[in-house]
Amino acid sequence: MPNGFPSREQIDRFLVDEIDSVPQLEALLLIWRTRPCQWSSTEIAEELYISSESAASELDHLLHHGLLTPSSDRPNYYLLNLEPENRQQLLASLEELYRRELVRISNLIHAKAPRSMRDFASAFRFKKEE
């Protein structure tokens, strides 16, 4: 990352590798903008106009990918995981890019194969032994 800020390509790679839906991205950016606030799936659902079940699923994905962490003092609440150190710069750049290129980023996310298909395909990749 030159000057500590990620390139557009690095942001795109993050989106391809870590984000499976626009609601996931919206939830992540909402939690980023309101840090250090903690959010529940019900609150995310209300804010993003999605069902509580969808919000819970999206938050679970973000948690599984290490982007969120469970609250230590409030059950069923989540907060942003700012580790590794460069995550703040990545999310700041992502938020700015998403504002400017909403359609391109949405299309990038929608163009991906569903996670289940990608996981199935990756099971058949040959990996070089170390």
> CATH assignment of 2-122?
1.10.10.10
Residue given tokens 């700041």 in the structure block: 92
Check the CA dihedral 46-50-53-59 and report its sign.
negative
Rounded to an integer, the average pLDDT of 15-23 is 94
b/e map 2-16, b = 16+ CB within 10 Å:
eeeebeeeebbebbe
For the chain, domain boundaries: 2-122
Q: Rounded to two decimals, what is the model's pTM?
A: 0.83
Residue 85: band (very low, low, confident or very high) from pLDDT cuts 50, 70, 90:
confident
